[in-house]
């Protein structure tokens, strides 16, 4: 960023588009960081990373109702907006997009975006409609901003894959960047939902990352993948997780099951703790292979 300036605020697609048009007309590249707020160091890493490859950065903050199921935490989801704006003041961000729900979804809103099988497996199975909500809101954010680049965290790995596919299928033309998972010193992936964990649950939580690391090592040493997945579930239950929604080695692009580690894979897991679903994943590259 070349000059010191305050954070601009856009409330409507029109306001944002006007500013983006002016930037792009001046030859500047524009990046978008979609978030639901309650910003932590993981979100801020996305801002820093995208700022390295664009000239102007917009952070959107919108708790998107359509990606929450009826029994999920939409109402309880944290919304510390003043704190978020203060956190962004120290970042290489130029603007925030803060639409309200009525702007995003007027009463006669009637279009939605579905991403086929990719959106129905894994998270899509446990959260029906979730990726339809995500795909629709991301299409709106990319359309409203016309950003050149947008960035998403590997923390929500399936979301990243879904969005890459969506952007390709619908010819949206936005470059999609991925950012690695930012973790606590004990390995727990940062998440706005970690705030729901009490001290006891917080002590159990890092076992998720530890277990994934152990499974990765065992797979790289030639362990049979289905047996390792079962071992992962057993370890997580033993560590104190109440349930394991999945723990599975997948193809990194199709997210289909793989039978052997003969090329890079993704190990994805979701385990439940004190009513909170904790997500984590790791890249697993065969040793001596790809
Ligand atoms: P959310 O506000 O949860 O919708 O997340 C907004 C973006 O931040 C998504 O692209 C997430 O994948 C990303 N993100 C969330 N937590 C982390 C993390 N611990 N490390 C990296 N990216 C993250």
Instruction: Provide the pLDDT for residue 4.
Output: 45
**Does residue 31 register a pLDDT over 90?**
yes
Q: Nearest 5°: phi and psi at 82? A: -65, -40
* Residue 287 is assigned to a structural domain of this protein: no
Ligand 1: which residue has its CA nearest to atom 11? 153
pLDDT digit string, tens, across residues 235-277: 999 999 999 999 999 999 999 999 999 999 999 999 999 999 9
133 CB near ligand 1 (under 6 Å)? no
Residue matched to tokens 């007309």: 25
Instruction: Provide the pLDDT for residue 64.
Output: 98
Q: How far is the CA of 138 from the centre of ligand 1 (A)?
A: 14
Asked if residue 13 lies in contact with residue 99, where contact means CB atoms within 8 angstroms, the answer is yes
**Does residue 2 register a pLDDT over 50?**
no
pLDDT digit string, tens, across residues 69-112: 999 999 999 999 999 999 999 999 999 999 999 999 999 999 99
Burial class from Cβ neighbours inside 10 Å (0-12, 13-18, 19+) for residue 48 reads middle
Please give the model's pTM, rounded to 2 decimal places. Answer: 0.97
pLDDT digit string, tens, across residues 114-158: 999 999 999 999 999 999 999 999 999 999 999 999 999 999 999
Average pLDDT, integer, range 163-182: 98
The residue ranking higher by pLDDT, 4 or 70, is 70
Alpha-carbon distance of 267 to 201, in angstroms, equals 23
* Residue 186 is assigned to a structural domain of this protein: no
Q: Are residues 17 and 143 in the same domain?
A: yes
Average pLDDT, integer, range 203-228: 98
Alpha-carbon distance of 52 to 36, in angstroms, equals 22
Burial 19-31 (b: 16+ CB within 10 A, else e): bbeebbeeeeebb
Looking up residue 33, the CATH number of its domain turns out to be 3.40.50.620
What's the helix, strand, coil split of the chain in %, to 5? Answer: 40, 20, 40
Question: What domain range is 76 assigned to?
Answer: 2-179
Task: Output the CA angle 273-251-220, nearest 5 degrees.
Answer: 80
Alpha-carbon distance of 134 to 142, in angstroms, equals 12
Q: Are residues 30 and 83 in the same domain?
A: yes
In sequence order, the β-bridge partners of residue 57 are: 31
**Does residue 1 register a pLDDT over 70?**
no
Task: Output the CA angle 15-164-53, nearest 5 degrees.
Answer: 60
Q: Are residues 202 and 267 in the same domain?
A: yes
Q: Are residues 31 and 146 in the same domain?
A: yes
Q: How far is the CA of 180 from the centre of ligand 1 (A)?
A: 10
**Looking at the annotation, which residues are catalytic?**
43
Q: Are residues 276 and 198 in the same domain?
A: yes
42 CB near ligand 1 (under 6 Å)? yes
Q: Are residues 119 and 199 in the same domain?
A: no
Instruction: Provide the pLDDT for residue 6.
Output: 87
């Amino acid at each position: 960023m070349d000059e010191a300036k305050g954070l601009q605020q856009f409330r409507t697609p029109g306001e944002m588009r006007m500013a983006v048009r002016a930037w792009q007309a001046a030859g500047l590249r524009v990046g978008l960081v979609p978030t639901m707020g309650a910003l932590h160091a993981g979100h801020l890493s996305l801002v820093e990373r995208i700022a390295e490859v664009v000239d102007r950065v917009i952070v959107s903050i919108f708790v998107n109702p359509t990606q929450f199921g009826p029994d999920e935490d939409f109402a309880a989801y944290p919304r510390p907006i003043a704190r978020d704006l203060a956190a962004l003041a120290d970042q290489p961000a130029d603007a925030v997009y803060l639409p309200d729900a009525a702007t995003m979804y007027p009463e006669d809103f009637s279009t939605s975006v579905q991403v086929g099988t990719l959106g129905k497996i894994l998270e899509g199975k446990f959260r029906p409609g979730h990726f339809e909500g995500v795909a629709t809101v991301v299409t709106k954010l990319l359309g409203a901003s016309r950003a050149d680049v947008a960035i998403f965290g590997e923390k929500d790995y399936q979301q990243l894959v879904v969005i890459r596919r969506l952007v390709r299928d619908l010819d949206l033309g936005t470059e999609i960047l991925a950012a690695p998972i930012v973790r606590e010193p004990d390995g727990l992936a940062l998440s706005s939902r970690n705030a729901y964990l009490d001290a006891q649950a917080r002590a159990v939580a890092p076992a998720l990352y530890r277990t994934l690391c152990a499974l990765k090592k065992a797979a790289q040493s030639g362990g049979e993948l289905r047996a390792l997945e079962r071992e992962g579930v057993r370890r997580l239950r033993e560590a104190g997780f109440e349930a394991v929604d999945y723990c599975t080695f997948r193809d990194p692009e199709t997210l289909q099951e793989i039978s052997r580690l003969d090329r890079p894979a993704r190990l994805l897991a979701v385990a439940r703790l004190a009513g909170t679903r904790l997500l984590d994943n790791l890249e697993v590259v065969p040793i001596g292979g790809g």
